[in-house]
């Protein structure tokens, strides 16, 4: 007579089942859409792909950038570098979708088809890092200069370097030395980074209307006629469903932590 629940009554466990199902569904949605990172949580991390970040470079990465991508810190952060095996003339949006982050570096000339494919991929949710003057020229048109040509790559890059002109413009360089300044404090990319002495080479760019300035360089070589301050890192804001971060200098020549922070930040970011 005491062996089971009274007819017509529900047990505490039975009444909790709908709530448990709702919690499981919420966890699944949050993990699938990158609202919450479960990469460090046992079981959940494996279900939602952990925090592995697959990266490739289109162009010619510097030795410093390769060192950052293949360092012990990168391996510990589950960053997988696939090399610079993607040739722009063979690009398809399908090829790009296999990577979490694609980097453009060391190749100023990009053909119009590659520009269009990369632009559409970012608009569809792709994560792009652009370094220096990558893809500022276009095949077969020496008068064209900047990202706003041949496929409107400028729509997804938060910096402006130039436009179509009547003659080929030289790249304008900014600092070769100075103080690296953090502008956007509390941002995941700049987390743990303090102002430091910069040594490298920046390219003079200007923010676009959809950009956020994260860092800058106060130049110490203004006697050469350079700008007293040049932009360092710019991030796209409210940009479709994808994300672009622009470096005006080679990130392989400076802080590895800053660059690895960028990769980790970008994986699950939208807009």
Note the pLDDT tens digit of each residue in 140-176: 887 788 898 877 899 999 999 865 554 455 677 777 7
| Res. 120: pLDDT tops 80 | yes
- In contact, 248 and 232? CB cutoff 8 Å: yes
* Domain ranges for the chain: 52-266
CATH architecture of 52-266: 3-Layer(aba) Sandwich (3.40)
Please, which residues bridge with residue 244 across strands? 128
d(CA 66, CA 57): 10
The pTM of this model reads 0.79
Mean pLDDT across 175-183: 89
Residues of the chain above pLDDT 70, percent: 75
Euclidean distance between CA atoms 261 and 266, whole angstroms: 9
Q: What is the pLDDT of residues 236-253, one digit of tens each?
A: 987 678 999 999 999 999
226/182: higher pLDDT: 182
The CA R_g of the chain, rounded to the nearest whole Å, is 23
């Amino acid at each position: 007579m005491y062996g089971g629940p009274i007819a017509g009554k529900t047990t505490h466990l039975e009444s909790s089942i709908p709530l448990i199902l709702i919690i499981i569904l919420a966890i699944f949605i949050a993990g699938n859409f990158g609202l919450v990172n479960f990469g460090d949580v046992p079981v959940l991390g494996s279900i939602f792909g952990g925090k592995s970040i697959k990266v490739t470079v289109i162009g010619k990465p510097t030795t410093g950038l390769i060192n950052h991508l293949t360092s012990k810190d990168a391996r510990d952060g589950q960053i997988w570098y696939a090399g610079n095996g993607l040739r722009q003339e063979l690009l398809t949006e399908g090829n790009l979708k296999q990577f979490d982050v694609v980097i453009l570096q060391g190749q100023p000339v990009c053909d119009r088809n590659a520009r269009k494919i990369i632009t559409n991929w970012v608009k569809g949710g792709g994560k792009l890092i652009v370094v220096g003057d990558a893809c500022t020229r276009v095949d077969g048109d020496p008068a064209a200069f900047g990202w706003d040509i041949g496929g409107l790559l400028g729509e997804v890059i938060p910096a402006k370097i130039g436009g179509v002109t009547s003659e080929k413009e030289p790249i304008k360089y900014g600092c070769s030395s100075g103080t690296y300044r953090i502008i956007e404090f509390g941002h995941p990319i700049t987390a743990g980074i303090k102002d430091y002495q910069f040594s490298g080479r920046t390219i003079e760019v200007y923010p676009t209307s959809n950009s956020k300035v994260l860092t800058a360089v106060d130049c110490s070589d203004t006697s050469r006629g350079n700008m007293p301050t040049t932009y360092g890192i710019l991030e796209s804001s409210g940009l479709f469903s994808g994300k672009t971060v622009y470096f005006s200098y080679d990130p392989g020549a400076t802080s590895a932590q800053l660059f690895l922070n960028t990769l980790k930040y970008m994986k699950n970011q939208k807009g």
